[in-house]
Chains A and B, each alone.
Chain A
Amino acid sequence: MYNNILYPTDGSSGANAAFEYALDLATNYDATLHILFVIDAEHIETGMTPRKQTGEDDRRVTGMMKRDEETAGAGSMSRNEDIAELLERRGHQLTDEIASRLIEEGCEATAVVEKGDPPRVITEYAETNDIDLITMGTHGRRGIKRRLIGSVTENVVRTSEVPVMTVRLDGDASKR
């Protein structure tokens, strides 16, 4: 039933919540797990400002990714290229890290980084790569304050022809 499972992640804890479920299904169904990071085109076009990390030299971070171990590129590039490159490197770092961990555990995994509008990229990737199930958190980085369910997840549930399993960060009854 599930030969290819898609796990879109933006590295947020909301996305991480879905990981154990994706992994469990992949293990039980002997499926390939596709780890997809989408570089949100909106972030590049709207000129998000990278800032220097406090107390450290020449480190530019977007503030969006948790693991900030590498320094960002040189300052001679235009701002937009700078951000795109930064996000791309972070995306590869994140997906490669997850994929190699899975491969070590004996799972089949693919790391993918794509650019565009996240829900559209996710659903298109699913349709063109024979994905049987998308497993994702109800909230990623986008829209946690604005909406009750993340806009990316809502969009994917609404438009995907592929079934979607949504996972909440923590089953917290008080949020009801």
Chain B
Amino acid sequence: MYDNILYPTDGSQESEAVLAHVRDLAETYDARVHILFVVDSKHSDSSMTLQRDEEGKWETGMVSRGKGEDKGGMSSDKVDVLEVLKREGEMLTQEISTELHEEGYKTATACKKGKPHQVINTYAEDNEIDLIAMGTHGRSGVSRQLIGSVTEKVIRTAQTPVLTARLVE
């Protein structure tokens, strides 16, 4: 039933909550886990602020596992936000992939720019995805009561079943 499971993540806690389900389903069905990070193209014209990390590299503070911290500080004028996000996304997906791989899972990673729900759907279609598993809302979710717009769009448009889970505190 499930040979390829897509796990779109933005590193948020909600995304992390879904990972337990991804692990279990992938083990039960012997499926490959595709870890996808989408560099949201809308960030290119946003006034997101960046700061340099210890090594002097720019960082957004948006892509780290667990609790996100909006570090901010410098104006983004002179750096390409999307490039920074892409690098952070690659690190994130690589980190999760390595973790899963060590546990014996088959994995694949991807980091793509665009509108999140479109990128997720296109990736799903191009890679024979049978199931998409994601948090009820990621970082762009406004309130706890609302379902994230990306998740809502994916549920509405995906050709595959979509498993959503929320962080239960």
- Count how many chain A residues have C-beta atoms less than 8 Å from C-beta atoms of the other chain: 29
Whether A28 touches B29, Cβ cut-off 8 Å, given contacts A1-B24, A164-B164, is yes
A165:B166 contact, CB within 8 angstroms: no
Q: Which chain A positions have C-beta within 8 A of B125?
A: 173
Q: B-facing mask of A48-62, CB < 8 A → 1, else 0? A: 000000000000000
Q: Is B147 an interface residue (CB 8 A)?
A: yes
Question: Across the interface, do A154 and B147 meet the contact criterion of CB distance under 8 Å?
Answer: yes
- Please give, as numbers and ranges, the residues of chain A lying within 8 Å of B157 by CB-CB distance: 175-176
The answer to whether the Cβ of B91 comes within 8 Å of any Cβ in the partner chain is no
Task: Judge if B108 is at the interface, Cβ distance under 8 Å.
Answer: no
Contact code string B90-121 (vs A, CB < 8 Å = 1, else 0): 00000000000000000000000000000001
B131 contacts across to A, CB distance below 8 A = 165
**Stretch from A78-86, A94-102, A106-114, A155-163 that touches the partner:** A155-163
- Known pairs A149-B152, A157-B147; A21 contacts B161 (CB<8 A): yes
- When the two chains form their complex, are residues A163 and B163 in contact, meaning their CB atoms are under 8 A apart? yes
Q: A29-B28, A164-B164 are in contact. Are A173 and B146 (CB under 8 A)?
A: no
Name the A residues within 8 Å of B147 (CB-CB): 154, 157-158
Q: Are A164 and B163 neighbours in the complex by a CB distance under 8 Å?
A: yes
A151 to B132, CA, bound (A): 21
Q: Does B48 have its Cβ within 8 Å of any Cβ on chain A?
A: no
CA distance A149 to B117 in the complex (A): 15
Please indicate the chain A residues that have their CB under 8 angstroms from the CB of B164 in the complex.
Answer: 157, 163-166
Q: Is residue A24 within 8 Å, beta carbon to beta carbon, of the partner chain?
A: yes
- Identify which of residues 128-158 in chain A touch chain B, using a CB-to-CB cut-off of 8 Å: 133, 138, 148-149, 153-154, 157-158
User: How far is A40 from B100 in the complex, measured between Cα atoms in Å?
Assistant: 44
**A163 to B25, alpha carbons, bound, how many Å?**
13
Interface residues of B (CB under 8 A from A): 1, 18, 20-21, 24-25, 28-29, 121, 125, 131, 136, 145-147, 151-152, 155-166, 168
Q: List 18 A-B contacts (CB under 8 A).
A: A24-B1, A29-B28, A149-B152, A149-B156, A154-B152, A158-B145, A161-B166, A161-B168, A163-B18, A163-B163, A164-B165, A165-B164, A166-B155, A166-B161, A166-B162, A166-B164, A171-B158, A172-B159
